[in-house]
Structure 1
Amino acid sequence: MFVNALQKHNPALIDAALCLHAEGKVLPDSYIIDLDTFVDNAKKIKAEADKHGITLYAMTKQFGRNPFLARLLVEDLGYQGIVCVDYKEARLFSRHGIKIANVGHLVQPPQAMLAQLMRDVQPDVVTVVTMEKAIALSQAAINANRVQKVLLKFYDAEDVFYTNQETGFPLAELPSVIAQMKELPGIRIAGITHFPCLLADKAQVMSTANAHTAAIAAQQCRDLGIEVEQLNLPSMTCCSSMPTLSQLGATHGEPGHALTGTTPLHQFEQPQPETIAMLYLSEVSHHHQGKSYCFGGGYYRRGHMENALIWPQVGSPAVQCKVHNDNQASIDYHLRLSGTAPVGSAVVMAFRTQVFVTRSDIVIVAGIHSGQPRVIGVWDSLGNEVAHG
């Protein structure tokens, strides 16, 4: 999906990956992140958000819930915390002492974790999508002697949900929901959220019906006397989407893919402010009936993986080939490549990722653009450190 963009906009990342692979410092099934470009992307997104008065919560699941990068975003680059899309991510970052901004969107925290969430994690907001969760959260907050701010999610008939992500209150029930929420002493309504609110239409950012539902819900809350501190409209938060977010009245965004320059916008010839900062490294494992197979583990079925670059020998020109996965239900022990290349040949891919659902490692590399790449560290796909640089 991003191979051509990678070659055009960040060839130094490819060169660094090949060098580290040849030296045996990086194993196959590794995502390599160009730290300097990642930081530059984060700064550009933050500057554009500041220009439009939008607060940023960082989303890290796409690059493996990495605590090194999360801490960098919050403590050095001015992001206001991490959005944890599930409770296990919240558990991880809490253990590292990294500020957690939003919990419960997309996955609600389980009942047994609410006490710890209120006592130890104390997020800025918790997204709530059922009255049962609101009641339980209220009691946990009372027990922790605090009032927890919550975001509510409402949906309407034309809204879009990804499969098995269907949640929220019907928009028609908003007055009743608000009235019930006001009766719960341990929580306070801080705003509205939804997902997905922005999508890419080729090289353009388009708002979805969900974004308009969220804006309507926010206005109805104001009409009922609620101070809407947050209108949080995640998905496709990047430099190019800030004007659209501003027009929709958003106060908060949650960049994820933009930090690594891998939103759908980044696959086109038209350059984006962010630069691709991540690639997937593998190597040829074996041959079978005249076909090459490389190590897998990082495949994501919505990643639009199409092409790979292979180097038949160190120093040789790259050969672009097709990546084949004939059965998406299969475990990606290996991926088949068109043509043949010697066993051990380096393979580079670039596609849309959700590293936290893979078996891959994350390798963070600094100094790429000064010609002195060095491995900062290696983490697994769930943010656990594997090795120091």
Structure 2
Amino acid sequence: MFVDALKRQNPQLIEAAVTLWRQGAILPDTYVIDVDQVLENGRKLLKTANDYGIELYLMTKQIGRNPTLARRLIELGYRGVVAVDFREAEILSEHQIPLCHVGHLVQIPDGLVEKMLRLHPDVMTVFSLEKARQISNVAQSIGMVQPVMIKMIADSDRLYPGQEAGFMLDDLESIVHQIQMMPGIKLTGLTHFPCLLWDDKQQSTLPTPNLQTLLATYNRLTNMGVGIQQLNAPSASSCSTLPLLAEYGITHTEPGHALTGTIPANHSGTEPERIAMVYITEVSHQFSGLSYCFGGGYYRRGHVSNGLVFSSSSTSSTFQTASVLPLDDSNIDYHIPLEGSYPVGSGVVMCFRTQIFVTRSDVALVSGIQTGRPVLDGIYTSQGMLKQGAFYG
């Protein structure tokens, strides 16, 4: 999906990934992240957000919940992260990464509510009165009041499979009244997802019906006299879309793919954020006229369409473009098929929209790429843990 943008915006990243693979410093099925470019993307996002009066919560699932990279970004001026599920909240909190927003796409389970409350997140999202009541009770027991957000749903809204959650907009008044009766929580915010999406036909990022529901909810609450401090509108957050969100009065959003430049709008390499992540693997074998790469990092919504195949020899710098064949829903991505026959052991670089946290891949953080002196800072699991073992020293 992003190979052309990669070649245009960050050919140095290709070179660094290939060199590390040829040296044996990284294995196939590794995402290589250009740390310096991620930080530069982060600076651009932060400046644009500050210019438009929007606060950004960092999203780390796309980069494998990596605490080292999150910490480096926080040093730029971000206050903390959004943990979209409780596993992410657990992992990042163990690394002392400040949690600003928890419970967004997945609620906090009973056994973690007190732990999360004691970390004092800016806000928790609740999807049910039962969860709101539990948070209120636990918060009361430890002597605090937790700010919460709710997500209201209209019939026309778009929800991804597996993410169906929220209160129905028709029940708003009743829901708010019941939440206001819970002394351990305070309703301070509204959220929805996805609020912006890329439109292939119009080649633009556009508001979804979800954003309209978010705004309609805010207006109704304002008329009810309920003060809302946070209007949180995640998805497709980037330097180009922050001005649009500001026009709608949005106060918070949560960039993820923009940090690595892998937003759909950047498929041609024209966005301010530059590509900062590649996937590298190698050809395992051929079968029935096709070549098969070692898998583990395939993401079925990634729209990967091609890769750059190259020799394992350090004397060759020639790349061949190979089509990546689609995998159906019955697959386990032990291997990723390529059209054509390529020598066993050939390297393959791909660049596509991914969510590292749902893969089995390694994550290699590399600094110094932009100055021509790449240094392998560390290799992590897809869940943000520093790897140990014979391959990595």
Q: TM-score, normalised by structure 1?
A: 0.97
**Comparing 293-302 and 310-319, the one that deviates more:** 310-319
Q: Give 2:28's aligned residue.
A: 28
Number of the residue aligned with 2:274: 275
AA aligned opposite 2:139: A
Match of residue 130 from structure 1? 128
SS at match of 2:354: coil
Structure-2 residue corresponding to 1:176: 174
* Residue 201 in structure 1 maps to residue 199 in structure 2: yes
Alpha-carbon distance, 1:324 to partner: 1.6
Deviation string for 1:98-155 (max 9, x for gaps)? 1001111100011121122212x22110001111110001001111211000011101
Q: Does 1:49 align with 2:65?
A: no
Q: Deviations over 1:68-96 (max 9, x none)?
A: 1111122x111121100100111111111
Amino acid at match of 2:271: Q
What aligned pairs does 1:219-258 form with structure 2 within 5 A after superposition? 219-258=219-258
Cα distance, 1:239 vs. partner? 0.3
The alpha carbon displacement at 1:225 in A equals 1.9
**Partner of 1:360 in structure 2?**
361
What is the rounded CA distance, in whole Å, between the counterparts of 1:254 and 1:336 in structure 2? 34
* Matched letter for residue 132 of structure 2: A
1:251 and 1:370 map into 2 onto residues whose CA distance is 36
Match in the other structure for 1:101: 100
Letter in 2 for 1:200: W
Q: In 2, distance between residues paired with 1:239 and 1:118? A: 32
Counterpart in the other structure of 1:322: 323
> Over aligned residue pairs, what C-alpha RMSD do you find?
1.3
Separation (CA, whole Å) in 2 of partners of 1:292 and 1:248: 49
Secondary structure at 1:324 match in 2 = coil
Partner in structure 1 of residue 144 of structure 2: 146
Residue deviations 1:4-42 (CA, integer Å, cap 9, x gap): 111111100000011111111111100000011100000
Give me the TM-score of the superposition, normalised by structure 2: 0.96
The amino acid that maps onto 1:106 is L
- Counterpart Cα distance in 1 of 2:326 and 2:241: 33
Q: Distance in 2 between matches of 1:250 and 1:327?
A: 38
1:336 aligns with 2:337: yes
> Hey, what's the Cα distance between the residues in 1 that align with 2:170 and 2:374?
56
Shift of 1:204: 1.5
Q: Counterpart amino acid of 2:192?
A: H
Q: Which residue number corresponds to residue 369 of structure 1?
A: 370
Residue 383 of structure 2 is matched in structure 1 by: 382
2:175 aligned partner, one-letter code: V
User: Structure 1: which 5+ runs fail to align?
Assistant: none
- Secondary structure of the residue aligned to 1:298 is coil
1:18-97 alignment runs, 5 A limit: 18-74=18-74, 76-97=75-96
- How far apart are 1:291 and its partner, in Å? 2.6
2: CA distance, partners of 1:151 / 1:267: 33
Separation (CA, whole Å) in 2 of partners of 1:79 and 1:251: 15
Rounded to whole Å, the distance in 2 between the matches of 1:37 and 1:326 is 31
Could you say what secondary structure the match of 1:235 adopts?
A: coil
Give the superposition deviation at 1:328.
3.1
SS in 2 for 1:123: coil
Q: Give the C-alpha shift of residue 226 in structure 1.
A: 1.8
Q: What CA distance in whole angstroms lies between the structure 2 residues aligned with 1:24 and 1:90?
A: 33
What percent identity do the matched residue pairs reach?
A: 47
- Secondary structure at 1:386 match in 2: coil
Aligned to 1:311: 310
Residue deviations 1:316-340, cap 9 Å, x none?
3100011124433211111111222
For 1:8 and 1:317, locate their aligned partners in 2 and report how far apart those are by CA, in whole Å: 17
Q: CA deviation at 1:344?
A: 1.6
Give the Cα separation in 1 of the matches to 2:147 and 2:81: 16
Deviation beyond 4 Å, 4+ runs, structure 1: none
Amino acid at match of 1:297: G
Letter of the 1:173 counterpart: D
CA distance in 1, matches of 2:351, 2:142: 45
- Structure 2 gaps of 5+ residues are none
Aligned mates of 1:224, 1:73 — CA distance in 2: 39
Distance (Å, rounded) in 2 between the aligned partners of 1:46 and 1:246: 14
Shift of residue 290 of structure 1? 3.7
Give the residue type in structure 1 aligned to 2:250: A
Q: Give the Cα–Cα distance (whole angstroms) in 2 for the partners of residues 287 and 168 of structure 1.
A: 47
In 1, Cα distance between the equivalents of 2:143 and 2:378? Answer: 39
200 and 325 in structure 1: CA distance in 2 versus 1, 3 angstrom threshold: closer
What is the one-letter code of the residue matched to 2:342? A
C-alpha distance in structure 1 between counterparts of 2:114 and 2:325, whole Å: 47
Residue equivalent to 2:292: 293
